[in-house]
Amino acid sequence: MYGENRSSGFRIPPKLLIGLVLAAFALFKYYSSSIPNEITGESQHINMSPEQEIAMGIQSAPQMIAEMGGEIKNTQYDALVKKVGQKIVSMSDAGKTVYRDQFEFHLLADQQTINAFAMPGGQVFITAALFSQMKNEDQLAGVLGHEIGHVVARHSAEKLAQMELAQGLTSAVSMATYDPSNPTGAQIAQNVANMLSLKYGRDQELQSDDLGVRFMLQSGYDPEQLIGVMEILKRSAGPNRTPEFQSSHPDPENRIEHIKESIRKYSGK
């Protein structure tokens, strides 16, 4: 009959449309902030300034120190940590960055946790448990060079932006797949966030290994000793019970191969 609405065109469900808008906004916000990194030569998606990173690291350091049993001070051991760390900064490309005068090196009193890490902006930590495993100054330089690499590569700021993207995409997937009678949509959304976070975590660790080799050579240390550090980490971790793809850090054996490649690249050997 004339005038009857026979339209059977495809209509996008409202929840799917909202999900697409949320995903588009998250992606636009992430990819529209692109900043070149003078050390790595890469373009990074970061939405905070170096000054904000520095302030965040300084504010977070006291709590981190307290959680790790306090800081060892006024000993030959923490003096060595500070000396080696500052030597690497002053003699390597790390000293050409805005973080040069912001680096502080801390020896934590934790005797159980074998670890080293860096906060945004230049706060670098190594536990007494890991420090006690070091066989020489070059191995210590390898650990600190790796952590300095995280700082100058701006991995914390990069990670925060990636987490924000993951949260935005998680919200988008949750909205698009929402079904009160079927909870699998929420699981799919969480998997999206997890995969993003894990991939970037491994890439950043390998890049910091590469920078660690570069900074060691520039400051007169033997980068081969960083391989010894990986052996220490492998022994302390024991058998890797999960596939590397599901781990936030590359397997030490895999890292050793990348370190050897970096040594060949920077030393020409």
pLDDT, mean over the chain: 82
Selection from 95, 84, 90, 82 nearest residue 138 by Cα: 84
Render pLDDT for 144-199 as a digit per residue (tens, 0 to 9). 999 999 999 999 888 887 777 767 666 666 666 655 655 555 555 555 455 445 45
Q: How confident is the model at residue 13 (pLDDT cuts 50, 70, 90)?
A: low
The pLDDT-based confidence of 77 (bands split at 50, 70, 90) is: very high
Q: Region 76-85: what's the mean pLDDT?
A: 98
d(CA 155, CA 119): 10
DSSP alpha helix (H) spans, the chain: 14-31, 50-67, 76-91, 128-131, 137-152, 155-176, 184-218, 225-237, 252-267
pTM (predicted TM-score): 0.77
Yes or no: say if 212 and 145 are a contact pair by the CB < 8 Å rule: yes
Query: What is the mean predicted confidence (pLDDT) over 134-145?
Result: 98
Question: What is the DSSP code string of 190-203?
Answer: HHHHHHHHHHHHHH
Nearest to 81 by CA among 111, 121, 108: 108
Res. 243: pLDDT tops 50: no
CA distances from 84 to 6, 116, 245, 256 (A): 78, 14, 33, 22
The percent of residues in the chain predicted with pLDDT above 70, rounded, is 70
Amino acid 3 reads: G
Residue type, 39: I
Domain map of the chain by residue range?
14-267
Distance, first Cα to last Cα, the chain: 84
The β-bridge relationship of strands 43-45 and 34-36 is antiparallel
